[in-house]
Structure 1
């Protein structure tokens, strides 16, 4: 079992790495070359760089992920694909994507895109808070224990 992180804009990489290392679960950070860093990652953490194309990280993650793996992303499309593959999929704001909520999330994304295309303004995401970090940490711990028990 592995943890895959859509890492370009993920504000909880430190939590993921710390909690996964405590449990001995490998972490793969998938990020674009535009975020290249020479910084060494701790043992058990691998960084895979992909082109800066819109879905390059998504395609790489889906090529690597297997049933029962955990994916962390804010991308609803990737979340949908991960669920279909039998993965546990989490958002960094501390909620879990499920077969019960993904259709509504995808529909909401579509409607917002259509509104923007027609010239309307839509609200951006709310700022990421310390409460969001703790919510994610708690959900991540639960998801790890579910991975280990499956």
Structure 2
């Protein structure tokens, strides 16, 4: 298993959890972003910088990930593509996406896009909390315990 991180929107606290998990489990963890990602020295931590542009990092993650890998992202369309490849996907708040849950999430995303395009204001996601941090760490531990 390899871990891939959609790093452009990854909260710093999630990065820290991933740094420790990569060392503990000796798993290569690659942070994909369109900017430099500062990483501590480690043979297990890698950064992959892509060109700026719409979905460039997402496309790179899809191309490089394999069945059984783990991807950390909050990007719903990216998660849907990865699930088709049998890649495990969790978001920054620890929710694991499945074939069933991703369809529901895609429908909600499309619904909110329609609302926004018709001029209706919608709220963004809630601020990242200590509970979110714990839920992410717990979800990651459950997945890595199987490795």
Between the aligned partners of 1:94 and 1:45, the Cα distance in structure 2 is 20
Q: What is aligned with 2:21?
A: 19
How far does residue 92 in structure 1 lie from its aligned partner after superposition? 0.6
What count of residue pairs does the alignment treat as equivalent?
145
Q: What is aligned with 2:110?
A: 110
Q: What is aligned with 1:139?
A: 139
> Which consecutive residues of structure 1, in runs of 5 or more, have no partner in the other structure?
none
How far does residue 21 in structure 1 lie from its aligned partner after superposition? 1.2
How far does residue 52 in structure 1 lie from its aligned partner after superposition? 1.7
RMSD: 1.3
* Inter-CA distance 134–65: structure 2 relative to 1 (3 Å threshold): same
How far does residue 41 in structure 1 lie from its aligned partner after superposition? 4.2
Under a length normalisation based on structure 2, what TM-score does the superposition of the two structures give? 0.94
Between the aligned partners of 1:99 and 1:144, the Cα distance in structure 2 is 20
- Are residues 1:59 and 2:59 paired? yes
Under a length normalisation based on structure 1, what TM-score does the superposition of the two structures give? 0.92
How far does residue 37 in structure 1 lie from its aligned partner after superposition? 5.0
Q: State the SS of the aligned residue for 2:99.
A: coil
Q: What is aligned with 1:47?
A: 47
Between the aligned partners of 1:38 and 1:93, the Cα distance in structure 2 is 22
> Which consecutive residues of structure 2, in runs of 5 or more, have no partner in the other structure?
none
Q: What is aligned with 2:69?
A: 69
- Are residues 1:121 and 2:121 paired? yes
Q: State the SS of the aligned residue for 2:27.
A: coil
